[in-house]
A and B are shown apart, each in its own frame.
Chain A
Amino acid sequence: MGFTSKPVRVIEIPEPMSEPLLAPESEPERTQREEEVPATTPA
């Protein structure tokens, strides 16, 4: 690899705070609270 053109600018980017190894899931996980809600029974 190599570039034939001249550099256009230099920037400094701080180290990412957390580096997840995988992209976040698109679908959020169900929370414990949601799972614990009891099913309502008909009167």
Chain B
Amino acid sequence: MTPAVGYRFWRVDPDDAWTRGRLQSPVAETLWPPLDRLDAECQTRPGLRLARAGLHRHDEERTSPELACSCGIYAYHDIAPMTRALREEPYMFGGAVLCWGRIVIHPEGLRAQHARPLALCRPESPGVQQRTALLLREVTREYAIPLLELRDLVAYASEFGASYKPEPIPPSRRGLDRVRDAFSWRQMRRRLGKAFGG
């Protein structure tokens, strides 16, 4: 099975003594190791909204990402959501990742067990390009990945893996699914249970 390709963004803060110009996940604040893979883990730190209560956190047998949790290494199937996020914050950079292991697929992206960066893309704004040129050169050298134009990113990433974007469900099918869910055996049993005070 071919590894999965996805697109995501990282924060790279040149002034942060802790991150020292490394790729950092903006939500979980995980630092991506240079020249190595990143392994997903369900984080349980208080206040972190990634891990939802009562799922698999206390079950060591389970692997991250868990289907019902929100843990895992995130990547979008397409570059469009990635580029939208890049316009919102300074020192946020986009790129492509290669993912494997356990993969939970959502309509808009995936959550992976293992991932490594494939390439970074050059910021679109000339001003940002100028301001971050040196930083991006250092980062791409440290991770041994290329710095590409946004238009070349998808073609480059496709050399390493494939997209696992699911086919969109047609609207008529969605309606049928809702009807089927409403009359499923479990739903009927729950309603009967409530009706009879069970």
Contacts and interface: CB of A to CB of B under 8 A. Distances in A.
Given A8-B166, A9-B166, A21-B145, A2 B102 contact: no
Nearest to A26: B159
Given A13-B100, A21-B145, A7 B105 contact: yes
A4 B159 CA distance: 29
A23 interface: yes
A40 to B, nearest CB: 39
B27 A10 contact: no
Given A8-B106, A8-B107, A11-B164, A22 B26 contact: no
Contact of B102 (A3, A10, A21, A24): A10
A20 B160 CA distance: 8
B106 A13 contact: no
A2 B100 contact: no
A15 B8 contact: no
A14 B113 CA distance: 11
Contacts of A43: none
Contacts of B21: none
B103 A11 contact: yes
A19 B108 CA distance: 26
Contacts of A19: 98, 116
Interface string A16-33: 100111111000000000
Interface of A: 1-16, 19-24
26 contacts: A1-B8, A1-B27, A1-B74, A1-B76, A2-B27, A5-B107, A6-B106, A8-B105, A8-B107, A10-B67, A10-B104, A11-B102, A11-B105, A11-B164, A12-B101, A12-B102, A13-B3, A13-B101, A16-B98, A16-B100, A16-B160, A20-B160, A21-B145, A22-B146, A23-B159, A24-B159
